[in-house]
C-alpha cells in the first residue's frame, strides 16, 4: 500500500508513561494557544502605554512589526531545528524565550533594543507553536491532509489573536498595562513546569547539525523587512520624502535589497533559493495576499479613527467588537474546512467567497457608519471581516502548499508571511493614514467655507460646541470616502477573479512523512558539505 493509503499511527512518545494518552494532544493544543497569546507588547494596552510612557503610537506599532518579522523570517529554520534538537528542548527554549522577553519588554526604553526583544520573542513564539502543532498533526488528520490541518491551525492562531486582545484590554482596564506581560510570564512558567514533569527527551531521528545555514542571508532579509516596515510606519510622522531621514532610509533599503539578491545568486545554498521564486502561480499568490492585507488594514486606521473620533467609544466599549470578530474567524475556518475537505470544491472559488466577505465589510462601512448608530449594528460588518480573513488565510496557505515542492515550501512560507503579516498591513495603514491626512483638511476647507458670521449668529448652540460636532462630521465623511475608494479597489479585484478561471486541482497532494523530510534535509546537508 502507498504511504497516503496507509497513514502512520499517531503517538506522542515524548510524554512520560503516567500522562494519559487522550490528554497528550490537548496539552500541546494548550501550549500552542499560550504561545499565540504571547507578544512583546500588546496593542490592546496601546492607549495606556502611550499615556504612561514616552512612546508614540508609531513606536508601539513598530514593536508589533518587529515581533511579526521575527515570526516570518524564522520559517526556513523550523525543520532544521526540529531535526537537531529534541521536542522538549525546543519547547523549553521557546517558553523560556517568551518568558524572558515579556519580563524585559516593559522595562526597556531604548527603542532599538525593545524592537530586538520583540523580534526574538516572535522567533520563540513561532518555534513553540510549530513544535506543538507539527507533533499533533497526525492526531488532527491521520492522512496529513492540509485541507484539514490549515483550517484547524488558523482556529488556534486567529482565535488566540482575538482572545489575547480581549484579555490584554481587560487587564489594562482593571489593573495595569504590564499585567498582560506578567500573565504571560506566569503561563510560560506553568508550561515549563508541565514540560519538566510530564515530558522527556525523545529523538525519533538521528540528529542533524546546524551547519550550512545561511545565517548572514537571514540577517540581511530580516534587516530589509524591518527597514521597509520602519519606512511605512514612520513615513507620515517624518512627512515622507520631505524628510532627509526617509530619503536616507530609502537608499539603505535599495542597497540592502541589492545585497540580498546578490547573495542569493552567489552562494550554493542561500536563505531563499532562486528556484523558489520560479514556481508557477507563486507570484500571483504573493500579490493577492498583499492586496488582501492592504484592504484589511482599514481595521487599524479607519475603524479605530471612527470608533475613537466619531463614536467616542472607550477602550472597553471598542473591545466588544472582538467577539463578533472571533465568531467570524471560527465560522470562516469551519467554512474553509467544509469547502476544501468535505465538499472538495475549487479553491479559486473559495478565494472569491473571501473577497465577497471583504467587499461586504468595506461596503457596509461605507453605507452604515454614522455617529447615530448603535455598536450592535457594527457586529455583522466585523463578523464579515473575521470570516473573510480566516477563509483567505487558510485558502492561500493551502494553495501555497499545493504549488510548491516541500524543499522550497517553508522558504515560500517565510516570504508569504513577510507579506501577509508585515508588508501588506504596514503599507495599507500608511496609505489610509495618508488618505485621512489629505481628505480631512480638504473637507474642512470645503464645508467650513459655509460658516461665516451670519450663519454663526443663527446657530442654536455655541460656536465651540458646533465646531466639535463639525470636526466629528468631517472625520466621518473622510472615513467614508476612503472606505469607498477601498471598496472600489476590492470590487475591481473581485471582477478580475470572475474573469479568471485557473485549473486549480481539487485533490491536494500529501505532505511527505517525517522520515522522507529528514532524508531531504540530510541530502541537502550532505550536498553543502561536499560543496
Contact at 8 Å (CB) between 282 and 412?
yes
Average pLDDT, the chain: 86
Task: Give per-residue pLDDT as tens, 119-164.
Answer: 999 999 999 999 999 899 889 988 888 889 999 999 999 999 999 9
Pick from 346, 281, 409, 407: which is nearest to 147 by CA? 346
DSSP three-state, residue 15: strand
Q: In the beta sheet, which residues pair with residue 199?
A: 15
Q: What b/e sequence results for 451-477 when a residue is b if at least 16 CB atoms lie within 10 Å of its CB, and e otherwise?
A: eeeeeeeeeeeeeeeeeeeeeeebbbb
Q: What is the model's pLDDT at position 469?
A: 77
Q: What is the model's pLDDT at position 5?
A: 43
Task: Give per-residue pLDDT as tens, 63-109.
Answer: 999 999 999 999 999 888 888 888 899 999 999 999 999 999 988 88
Per-residue confidence at 503, pLDDT binned at 50, 70, 90?
very low
Contact at 8 Å (CB) between 479 and 371?
no
- DSSP annotation of 19 reads S
Which residue reads 518568558 in cell numbers?
99
Per-residue confidence at 449, pLDDT binned at 50, 70, 90?
low
Q: What is the model's pLDDT at position 464?
A: 64
| DSSP letter string, 236-287 | TTTTGGGSHHHHHHHHHHHHHHHHHHHHHHHSSS-SS-GGGGGSTTHHHHHH
Q: How far is CA 359 from CA 23, 276, 285, 355, 475, in A?
A: 42, 32, 19, 6, 22
CA 423, CA 416: separation in Å to the nearest integer?
10
Q: What is the model's pLDDT at position 456?
A: 53
Of 11-20, 35-44, 142-151, 499-508, give the lowest mean pLDDT range. Answer: 499-508
Count of CA atoms in the C-beta half-sphere (13 A) of 341? 20
Percent of the chain predicted with pLDDT > 70? 89
Count of CA atoms in the C-beta half-sphere (13 A) of 443? 19
Contact at 8 Å (CB) between 363 and 520?
no
Which residues make Cβ contacts (< 8 Å) with residue 399, sequence separation at least 6? 281, 285, 347, 504
Q: What is the model's pLDDT at position 82?
A: 87
Q: What is the model's pLDDT at position 40?
A: 82
Per-residue confidence at 462, pLDDT binned at 50, 70, 90?
low
DSSP three-state, residue 199: strand
DSSP three-state, residue 369: coil
Task: Give per-residue pLDDT as tens, 308-333.
Answer: 888 888 888 889 999 999 999 999 99
Amino acid at each position: 500500500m502507498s504511504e497516503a493509503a496507509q497513514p502512520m499511527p499517531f503517538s506522542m512518545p515524548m510524554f512520560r508513561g503516567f500522562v494519559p494518552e487522550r490528554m497528550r494532544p490537548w496539552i500541546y493544543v494548550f501550549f500552542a494557544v499560550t504561545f499565540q497569546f504571547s507578544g512583546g507588547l500588546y496593542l490592546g494596552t496601546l492607549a495606556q502605554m502611550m499615556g504612561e510612557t514616552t512612546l508614540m503610537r508609531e513606536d508601539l506599532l513598530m514593536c508589533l512589526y518587529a515581533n511579526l518579522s521575527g515570526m516570518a523570517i524564522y520559517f526556513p529554520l523550523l525543520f532544521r531545528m526540529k531535526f537537531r534538537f529534541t521536542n522538549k528542548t525546543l519547547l523549553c527554549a521557546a517558553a523560556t524565550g517568551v518568558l524572558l522577553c515579556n519580563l524585559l519588554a516593559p522595562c526597556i526604553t531604548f527603542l532599538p533594543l525593545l524592537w530586538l526583544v520583540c523580534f526574538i520573542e516572535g522567533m520563540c513564539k513561532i518555534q513553540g507553536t510549530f513544535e506543538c502543532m507539527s507533533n499533533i498533526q497526525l492526531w488532527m488528520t491521520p492522512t496529513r491532509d492540509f485541507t484539514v490541518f490549515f483550517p484547524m491551525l488558523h482556529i488556534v492562531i486567529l482565535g488566540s489573536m482575538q482572545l489575547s486582545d480581549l484579555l490584554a484590554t481587560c487587564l489594562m482596564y482593571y489593573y495595569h498595562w504590564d499585567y498582560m506581560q506578567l500573565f504571560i510570564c506566569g503561563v510560560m512558567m506553568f508550561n515549563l513546569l508541565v514540560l519538566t514533569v510530564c515530558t522527556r527527551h525523545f529523538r525519533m531521528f538521528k540528529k542533524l547539525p546546524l551547519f550550512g545555514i545561511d545565517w548572514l542571508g537571514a540577517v540581511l532579509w530580516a534587516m530589509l523587512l524591518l527597514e521597509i516596515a520602519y519606512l511605512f510606519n514612520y513615513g507620515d510622522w517624518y512627512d515622507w520624502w520631505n524628510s532627509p531621514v526617509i530619503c536616507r532610509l530609502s537608499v539603505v533599503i535599495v542597497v540592502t535589497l541589492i545585497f540580498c539578491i546578490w547573495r542569493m545568486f552567489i552562494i550554493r545554498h542561500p536563505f531563499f533559493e532562486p528556484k523558489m521564486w520560479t514556481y508557477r502561480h507563486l507570484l500571483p499568490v504573493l500579490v493577492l495576499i498583499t492586496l488582501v492585507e492592504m484592504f484589511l488594514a482599514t481595521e487599524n486606521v479607519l475603524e479605530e479613527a471612527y470608533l475613537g473620533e466619531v463614536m467616542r467609544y472607550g477602550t472597553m466599549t471598542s473591545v466588544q467588537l472582538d467577539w463578533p470578530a472571533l465568531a467570524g474567524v471560527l465560522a470562516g475556518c469551519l467554512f474553509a474546512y467544509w469547502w476544501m475537505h468535505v465538499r472538495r470544491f475549487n479553491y479559486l472559488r473559495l478565494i472569491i467567497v473571501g473577497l465577497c466577505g471583504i467587499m461586504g465589510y468595506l461596503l457596509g462601512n461605507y453605507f452604515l457608519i454614522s455617529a447615530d448608530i448603535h455598536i450592535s449594528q457594527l457586529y455583522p460588518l466585523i463578523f464579515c471581516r473575521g470570516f473573510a480573513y480566516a477563509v483567505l488565510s487558510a485558502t492561500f496557505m493551502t494553495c501555497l502548499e499545493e504549488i510548491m515542492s516541500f524543499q522550497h515550501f517553508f522558504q515560500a512560507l517565510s516570504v508569504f508571511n513577510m507579506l501577509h503579516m508585515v508588508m501588506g498591513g504596514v503599507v495599507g495603514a500608511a496609505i489610509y493614514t495618508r488618505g485621512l491626512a489629505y481628505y480631512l483638511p480638504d473637507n474642512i476647507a470645503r464645508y467650513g467655507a459655509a460658516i461665516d458670521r451670519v450663519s454663526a449668529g443663527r446657530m442654536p448652540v455655541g460656536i465651540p460646541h458646533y465646531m466639535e460636532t463639525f470636526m466629528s462630521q468631517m472625520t466621518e465623511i473622510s472615513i467614508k470616502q476612503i472606505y469607498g475608494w477601498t471598496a472600489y479597489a476590492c470590487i475591481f479585484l473581485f471582477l478580475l477573479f470572475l474573469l479568471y478561471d485557473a485549473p486549480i486541482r481539487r485533490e491536494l497532494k500529501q505532505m511527505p512523512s517525517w522520515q522522507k523530510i529528514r532524508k531531504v534535509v540530510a541530502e541537502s546537508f550532505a550536498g553543502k558539505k561536499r560543496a
